Amino acid sequence: MNDVIGLAPWLIGIPLIGAAILLLGGKATDRWGHWLGVAASAASGVIGFILMFRMIGTPAEERSVDHHLWTWLSAGGLDVDLGLRLDPLSLVFVMLVTFVGTLIHVYSVAYMDHDPHRRRFFAYLNLFVAAMLTLVLADSYLLLFVGWEGVGLASYLLIGFWDTGRPSARENAVAAKKAFVMNRIGDMGLIAAMALLFAGTGALDFATTLSDDTLGSLSEGTATAIGLCLLLAACGKSAQFPLQAWLGDAMAGPTPVSALIHAATMVTAGVYLMVRSGPILEAAPTAQLVVVIVGAVTLLFGAVVGTAKDDIKKALAASTMSQIGYMMLAAGLGPAGYAFAIFHLLTHGFFKAGLFLGAGSVMHAMGDQTDMRRFGGLSRFLPITWITMGLGWLAILGIPPFSGFWSKDGIIEAAFIPVEGQPWRAWVFGTVAVLGAGITAFYMTRLFFMTFGGRRPRWTENQHPHEGSPLMWWPLVFLGVGSAALGLVLGVGGTFVTWLEPVVGHAEHHEPVLPVPVIITSTLVVVVLGALLAFRMYAMSLVPEEAPRGSFLTRAARRDLYQDAANETLVLKPAHGVARLLQVGDRDVVDRGWSLLPQVLSWFGAVFRKAQSGYVRSYAAGMAGGVLVIAVVAWLVVGLGGAQ
């Protein structure tokens, strides 16, 4: 391992240099800039592969290597060394980021073909890759924070990428700002966590802070506080309840961005943070429980919202939120859940990126239309997109043997494992996880069939859908194959779980409260029910004459129609109502709250601005008044303090 470790800094360096060349090179690089971007990402991927192969050949206990880069700060008893940590966990992320990242780079070459600022787009993408790799390769919370801010910046730049010259320009700028503000809230959590950690342990690097000795010396209260602050950070970055509102709006960015940053990689950084900080959470059971609750709430929240969205990208965004909720839930379950959290993160990275790129392909074919009510019947026109998205659909539903099954089922089983002293937990969280799977099946099937199903298209005028260039569909094929097979390859025999064991520790085997086959079967039943319900409502009911068999079923279908109407009033309307309420609450309460903050601040600013009158006499009076006020305050505080 040590002979190739010197390559590790280049993982970050190459895309960073790529971004620098593209940003500073100006128009001279317009012609070939996008290929430079692809090459930089791919080169990083190649280095990742080399490191991966070397690591596979290394004995398990030697797989975690810290590579010291330089001493950043050395002052007054504080030494901050910057270094990279290569271990099975960080390498999984390196592979995900560079592989999916490179595919999305390639896709973007075609997708952004007509954009005058394509070069800048690739510069930001490279910047993102570099920052994301910094985040996952950091060997201390401090360097992690650098990457954390870096991905935030790249995300902000890319969400607002179309903030000029488009009808939606203003909304895009607003969306970018919203993401920025909410991420700052999360960042404050990370800063606070670092401050507490430093106060408690005197260090910020993983090797020291996460060792048993150090954590043993922390009080449980401190550990809980640190854990909750870390959770706040994770909520901001990963769009978890209650900081989830920005993700839907972030879809204003170009679709490849949604696929790479807001589905596959950046938004999962919170899960990485939770798993990486696992030892701290384990020292703080309360914080762990909160993590699980946040995961469970977001899981349902995202899923319910997903059923009500008609915009294909927003539906997928809600789904991302919900799936990350699964990962958070798993990350809060301790060693039994970590491996599955990361496993699901990996498979989700593939199938969700594939679904987003597929959505991009559909939008590309339909003239940037995103409303699913204006799709329909596209399977014949976009066969490759249809098949690859179909694979992603089966994967996210968790149908065996597609990849989502292996990871999501692991999470559901882990959720059913009983916790000593709190028997309710296994039942509550297990049920939520199964229920979520059912709703997921419903909304994904709805999305899939509203887009591709039905013979009667609901297109707007003058649509001539066709597949994009091979640059667009080859990445789809790769991701589709990944969605189909990745779980099987890594899941059978627990390969992936064993791979992560050196980092997350060996999980003691506990029996879930229900037998495993029962869990699997009941999950599948719920999933199939959800999918069937959606299929009936969105694939069949629009065109009831096309019921596959006989007149009896036609009549049944007709009755189903009545039932649909009943469903509409009894189930769907309330569900939609709830969803709408959530949306409204989201928009009117949460959003307004966020936008109120700057307003209050600027009001305050305006008041002070009035005081800046320009009159010397009032300035001098202000100074004299200031002297008095300060004197009085000093007197009062000390006087009162003395009286006590």
Partner 1 sequence: MTEFVAPEIDWLALAPLIVVLGAGVVGVLIEAFVPEKVRRTTQIVLALAALAGAFAFIAVLWPQIVVQPVQVVGGSLTLTPFALGAQGIIAVLAFLGVLVVADRTTTGQDAFAPAASAVPGTPYEDLARRSGLEQTEIYPLLLFAVGGMMLFASTDDLIVMFIALEVLSLPLYVLCATARRRRLLSQEAAAKYFLLGAFASALFIFGVALIYGFAGTVRLLEIAQRVQQGLPLEGMSVLLVSGVLLVVVGLLFKVGAVPFHAWTPDVYTGAPTPITGFMAACTKVAAVAALVEVLYRISIGVGGVSPDIMRQLQIVIVVVAILTMVVGTVVGMVQTDVKRLLAYSSIAHAGFLLVGIAGFNAPVQSSTLFYLLAYGLATIGAFAVVTLVRERRITSGTGEDNGPVGEGEGVVLGEATEIAQWAGLGRKAPWLTAAFALFLLSMAGIPLTAGFIAKFGAFTGATTGGLWWLAVLGVLASVVAVAFYVRVLVVMVFQKAPDEPESTGTEAVEAGLSTGSTSEDAVPTSGGAVSAGAAATLTKVRVTSAQRIVVTVVRSRGPAAVAIAVCAIATVILGVFPSPVLGLVEQASKFVP
Q: Does 625 participate in binding partner 1 (rule CB under 8 A)?
A: yes
Which CB sits closer to partner 1, 184 or 587? 184
Which CB sits closer to partner 1, 495 or 613? 613
Which CB sits closer to partner 1, 146 or 428? 146
Q: How many CA atoms lie within 13 A of 367 on its CB side?
A: 7
Q: Does 191 participate in binding partner 1 (rule CB under 8 A)?
A: yes
Per DSSP, the three-state class of 122 is: helix
242 vs 235: CA distance, rounded Å: 7
- Interface stretch with partner 1, choices 38-46, 347-355, 563-571, 594-602 (CB under 8 A): 594-602
- Interface stretch with partner 1, choices 3-11, 97-105, 411-419, 630-638 (CB under 8 A): 630-638
- CB of residue 641 to partner 1, shortest distance in Å: 7
Opening angle at CA 601, ends 600 and 607, nearest 5 = 90
In the region spanning residues 195 to 234, those forming contacts with partner 1, defined by CB under 8 A, are 195, 199
- Any residues with CB less than 8 A from the CB of 247 and at least 6 apart, and which? 239, 262, 267, 317, 320, 321
Which CB sits closer to partner 1, 561 or 634? 634
- CB of residue 74 to partner 1, shortest distance in Å: 5
Exposure string over 130-144, b if 16+ CB within 10 A, otherwise e: bbbbbbbbbbbbbbb
Q: Does 28 participate in binding partner 1 (rule CB under 8 A)?
A: no
Residue 545, amino acid? E
Q: Does 605 participate in binding partner 1 (rule CB under 8 A)?
A: yes
Name which position in 3, 70, 167, 466 contacts partner 1 (CB under 8 A). 70
Q: Please write down the long-range contacts of 147-152, taking CB distance under 8 Å and 24 or more positions apart.
A: 148/187, 148/190, 148/233, 148/237, 148/269, 149/187, 151/237, 151/261, 151/266, 151/269, 152/180, 152/183, 152/187, 152/237
- Whether the CB-CB separation of 431 and 384 falls below 8 Å is answered with no
Q: Does 638 participate in binding partner 1 (rule CB under 8 A)?
A: yes
308 vs 324: CA distance, rounded Å: 19
- Whether the CB-CB separation of 450 and 378 falls below 8 Å is answered with no
Q: Does 565 participate in binding partner 1 (rule CB under 8 A)?
A: no
- CB of residue 112 to partner 1, shortest distance in Å: 17
Q: Which residues pair with 205 in a beta bridge?
A: 140
Name which position in 139, 163, 413, 564 contacts partner 1 (CB under 8 A). 163
Name which position in 184, 380, 456, 559 contacts partner 1 (CB under 8 A). 184
- Whether the CB-CB separation of 353 and 259 falls below 8 Å is answered with yes
- Interface stretch with partner 1, choices 19-27, 107-115, 123-131, 459-467 (CB under 8 A): 19-27
Q: Does 552 participate in binding partner 1 (rule CB under 8 A)?
A: no
Name which position in 188, 290, 556, 590 contacts partner 1 (CB under 8 A). 188
Q: Does 73 participate in binding partner 1 (rule CB under 8 A)?
A: yes
Q: Does 517 participate in binding partner 1 (rule CB under 8 A)?
A: no
DSSP per-residue string spanning 577-610: HHHHHHHHIIIIIIIHHHHHHHHHHHHHHHHHHH
CB atoms within 10 A of CB 31: 9
- Whether the CB-CB separation of 583 and 308 falls below 8 Å is answered with yes
Which CB sits closer to partner 1, 498 or 612? 612
Residue 629, amino acid? V
Which CB sits closer to partner 1, 148 or 393? 148
CB atoms within 10 A of CB 563: 15
Which CB sits closer to partner 1, 182 or 333? 182
In the region spanning residues 110 to 149, those forming contacts with partner 1, defined by CB under 8 A, are 142, 145-146, 149
- CB of residue 132 to partner 1, shortest distance in Å: 16
Q: Does 596 participate in binding partner 1 (rule CB under 8 A)?
A: no
Report which DSSP code applies to 75. E
Which CB sits closer to partner 1, 176 or 328? 176
Q: Does 521 participate in binding partner 1 (rule CB under 8 A)?
A: no
Dihedral of alpha carbons 509, 512, 513, 516, sign: negative
Name which position in 15, 160, 236, 248 contacts partner 1 (CB under 8 A). 160
Q: Does 640 participate in binding partner 1 (rule CB under 8 A)?
A: no
- CB of residue 615 to partner 1, shortest distance in Å: 5
Q: Does 180 participate in binding partner 1 (rule CB under 8 A)?
A: yes
600 vs 609: CA distance, rounded Å: 14
- Interface stretch with partner 1, choices 376-384, 498-506, 524-532, 616-624 (CB under 8 A): 616-624
Radius of gyration (Cα) for the chain, nearest Å?
Answer: 26
88 vs 66: CA distance, rounded Å: 12
Q: Does 608 participate in binding partner 1 (rule CB under 8 A)?
A: yes
Q: Does 635 participate in binding partner 1 (rule CB under 8 A)?
A: yes
Q: Does 619 participate in binding partner 1 (rule CB under 8 A)?
A: yes
Q: Does 74 participate in binding partner 1 (rule CB under 8 A)?
A: yes
Total number of residues that touch partner 1 (CB under 8 A): 60
Q: Please write down the long-range contacts of 39-43, taking CB distance under 8 Å and 24 or more positions apart.
A: 40/14, 40/15, 40/126, 40/129, 41/15, 41/98, 41/101, 41/102, 41/105, 41/125, 41/126, 41/129, 42/98, 42/102, 42/105, 43/10, 43/14
Report which DSSP code applies to 263. I
Name which position in 2, 26, 368, 568 contacts partner 1 (CB under 8 A). 26
Residue 370, amino acid? T
- Site residues (CB under 8 A) for partner 1? 23-24, 26, 70-76, 78, 142, 145-146, 149, 160, 163-165, 180, 184, 187-188, 191, 195, 199, 598, 601-602, 604-606, 608-620, 622-623, 625-627, 629-631, 633-635, 637-638, 641-642
